[in-house]
Amino acid sequence: MISCGLIPYLLFMAASQTAVADAPSSTCLHVVIEREFTFLASTRTMLSERWIADDRMYAKSGDIVSITRKDLGVRWIIDGAKRTYTEMPLSGPSADRPAAPEPPSSPTVAKPAEDLREAGFRYEPAYEWTVTDTPETSTINGRLCIRVVAAGDADYAETNLALWYCPRSEADKAGDQNVPFLNMIRDDSIKTFLESQQRKRGNPILMSYEETTEPSISPVMVTRIRIKTLESVPAPAGLFNVPIGVSKASRPK
């Protein structure tokens, strides 16, 4: 039998699982990004959601949620399907350390041509890019965006990109929407190119992206990524804590 004195303590412990260091809700940057990948007439879609505050972030993709709490020095990874979570410490001061400055640019040295017969599926195209800023504009999520097109040509592949950029407002400074956006791009060479464009353009918001790639040894692939939601709003209560009913995953023996 549970003593009367123990009941308030148990209720407190249950509530504290979702209320650990829960500060009053402040305005956060809320971003939802959709990715569509079309190959052989089949399209796969995935969503990525972010809530970004000064010292905490919530990220959800599929059944997996990552909650980063710099104020507590911890990150929780929650498996929604299994209703379990793991806990990892953050790396102390480096969690708040600003990114290192970009090294001085140096002349690009072209990679030697790779023999496709030897590379096979390991082949990574080294594109040469032609970039054109078009006069075309469009309003996306209430933001006026400009259209930029880029054509990449490599030894055994070619790709064409359509990019929609909009300027960053004061409300967008809670976090960088481009980080989760670029993480949804599979090709490292294209991602590197886009990162260089972000630096040259003063890091505007990449609101929409369409990639049509003709690989060396497969049919055309089309990738579309776009920001579906971009807003500055208060986060839902308890969002940055482990929910009640989710238990800590046991370590394998």
Q: Does 107 fall in a domain?
A: no
Task: Dump pLDDT digits (tens) for 107-154.
Answer: 444 444 454 444 444 557 889 999 999 999 999 988 999 999 999 998
What residues make up the domain containing 184? 19-95+125-248
Q: Does 201 fall in a domain?
A: yes
Residue 129 to residue 194: CA distance in whole angstroms: 11
Number of domains in the chain: 1
Instruction: Tell whether the model's pLDDT for residue 1 goes beyond 50.
Output: no
Q: Does 66 fall in a domain?
A: yes
Q: Does 6 fall in a domain?
A: no
Q: Does 102 fall in a domain?
A: no
The reported pLDDT for the residue numbered 73 is 95
CATH of the domain at 169: 2.50.20
| pLDDT band (50, 70, 90) for residue 179 | confident
Torsion region of 129: left, alpha or beta (phi above 0 gives left; psi -120 to 50 gives alpha): beta
Task: Dump pLDDT digits (tens) for 218-242.
Answer: 789 999 999 999 988 899 999 999 9
Q: Does 112 fall in a domain?
A: no
| pLDDT band (50, 70, 90) for residue 253 | low
Residue 45 to residue 11: CA distance in whole angstroms: 41
Task: Dump pLDDT digits (tens) for 148-167.
Answer: 999 999 888 899 999 999 99
